[in-house]
Amino acid sequence: MASVNLLSTKGLSRSFGGIRAVENVDFELPEGQIRALIGPNGAGKSTFVGLLCGRIAASSGSVRFMDRDISNLPAHRRIALGMAYTFQITSVFARLSLYENVALAARRHIGGDRASVDREVASALERVGLTERTDQPAEDLSYGHQRLLEIAMGIAQHPKLLILDEPTQGLADSEIRQFNALVRELNAEATILLIEHNMDVVMEIADAITVLNFGEVLAEGEPEEIRRNKAVQAAYLGTD
């Protein structure tokens, strides 16, 4: 049976002052896949994700999610449809506790019932390994643990699509191993789009990889196919 695309773009482009940050990108993400998005700094990855999430308006092209054109929907409407995301710069509420941060996200999904929110918060924090810090202010966490808190906030929304932008930045090696296991676990519940510089992580957990360069798709394929791709080696992997 052919895979069903959860998310797709057609001719998606964005310019900033005449600079084409994303150029005519056609992209398809099948439901249930772990897709990695990689590329050199300045390749357009964060802009592309911003276009998917509705935080950046497209100059041209379209975005479809769950077989619906969402090109003109604002970010909060896309969240309501089942997107959740973390960004390269953490967006936690620094002075709120971990509980309060995750509870805010959980209420988007289940409303205000306190018992249900408590269960969602406890489950999400346990899955990212932050249970013992429930009552701490988020600002007391290391940068890496703030990234894990963001993931917990995403988990609590029970998204259909979870977008993770540089999630392992600031994590120790042991925490990265735990993260890899967590992503595989979450993939049973959500399609995952992973923007990541750590190629060990990408090669271990991604089902497929899309490579951006100068705002355009340079290559797509399974991890080993991308590893062997000469154009990708020259542009990003540092070999020839």
Select from 212, 205, 206 the least CA-distant residue to 232: 212
- 44 pLDDT higher than 90: yes
Adjacent-strand bridge partners of 163: 85, 193
Q: Which long-range contacts (CB under 8 A, 24 or more apart) does 132-141 make?
A: 133/98, 134/97, 134/98, 134/99, 135/97, 135/98, 135/99, 136/97, 136/98, 137/94, 137/95, 137/96, 137/97, 138/92, 138/93, 138/94, 138/95, 138/96, 138/97, 138/98, 138/101, 139/94, 139/95, 141/98
pLDDT at 228: 94
Give per-residue pLDDT as tens, 80-116.
999 999 875 567 999 999 999 999 999 988 887 899 9
Length of the chain as a residue count:
240
197 alpha-carbon distance from chain centroid: 13
Do the Cβ atoms of 58 and 12 come closer than 8 Å?
yes
Is 106 in contact with 157 (CB distance < 8 Å)? yes
Local confidence band at 3 (pLDDT 50, 70, 90 cut-offs): confident
Of the CA atoms within 13 Å of residue 153, those in its CB half-sphere come to: 28
Instruction: Determine the angle formed by the axes of helices 114-127 and 98-110, rounding to 10 degrees.
Output: 120
Domains of the chain: 1-82+161-240 (3.40.50.300), 93-158 (no CATH)
pLDDT greater than 80 at residue 13: yes
70 close to 238: Cβ distance less than 8 angstroms: no
Q: Mind listing the pLDDT tens digit for each residue in 161-219?
A: 999 999 999 999 999 999 999 999 999 999 999 999 999 999 999 999 999 999 999 99
CA angle 216/167/173 to nearest 5° reads 120
**Token digits for 215?**
């705002």
